[in-house]
Amino acid sequence: MPVLAEHRFNVQDYYRLAETGVLRPDARLELLEGRIIERSLIGPPHGGVVNRLSRILHQLAPGHWLVTVQNPLRLGDYSEPEPDLLLLRESPTAYGDRHPRPEDVYLLVEVSDTTLRYDREEKIPAYGRAGVPEVWIVDLNQARVEVYREPNFTGYGSRSIFEPGDAIAPQAFPSARIQVAELFGH
């Protein structure tokens, strides 16, 4: 059956749906390119990687950046996903007056197991089009990290793979090296 009409939600619609109770307050949702997407539950391996990475980044350079976990990132009028981790420029308000935008981001991290295909095919292109400078996908299934750089209108121009035994660093902070094995608790 052909689609007669499709409604894309903008960020204001999305918030209105939440404020009026159409969207449950405890629902795990995000807005991506006008679509309201239900996010999967966070299992212990996923949460553990996010916790380890958050701890590592806090220890590497306190005061050089802000680490935020599972908070919104305003990509534009039709997208406000909630990445697993963001490494952000410092803000006097700690982003209490607005959600961060792509120009505030040093590094965005998604931890993926069941969402790997969605993260690669939907989120990575959206992040690249919005100008997020660097994205890591921590692939729990393969115990590796995919690093995306050089954002462009189709996604990213560069993709590299790092495995246990390798070290990676955010492009903006090359001296902040992280052992990939440490992310997986090895």
The pLDDT score that the predictor gives to residue 5 is 62
Greatest mean pLDDT range, 58-67, 84-93, 143-152: 143-152
Mean pLDDT for 59-70 is: 86
Instruction: Please tell me the distance from the alpha carbon of residue 177 to that of residue 161, in angstroms, as a whole number.
Output: 15
Mean pLDDT for 100-123 is: 95
Tokens of 150: 């050089």
| pLDDT reading at 43 higher than 90 | no
The pLDDT score that the predictor gives to residue 37 is 87
- % of the chain with per-residue pLDDT over 90: 68
The pLDDT score that the predictor gives to residue 100 is 97
pTM for this model (two decimals): 0.92
Kindly report the backbone phi and psi dihedral angles of residue 105, in degrees, each rounded to the nearest multiple of 5, phi listed first. Answer: -95, 130
Strand partners, 140: none
Q: Identify the residue with better confidence: 1 or 11.
A: 11
Q: Residues 19, 24, 26, 28: is their CA dihedral positive or negative?
A: negative
pLDDT in tens, 142-162: 999 999 999 999 999 999 999
Angle in degrees, CA 128, 138, 73, rounded to 5 = 45
* Complete DSSP assignment for 102-116: GGGEEEEEEEESTTH
Kindly report the backbone phi and psi dihedral angles of residue 96, in degrees, each rounded to the nearest multiple of 5, phi listed first. Answer: -80, -10
The pLDDT score that the predictor gives to residue 144 is 97
Strand partners, 66: 88
Domains in the chain, CATH or no CATH each? 41-183 (3.90.1570.10)
Tokens of 152: 């462009």
| pLDDT reading at 3 higher than 70 | no
Residue pair 69/103 in contact by the 8 Å Cβ criterion: no
CA 154 to chain centre: 17
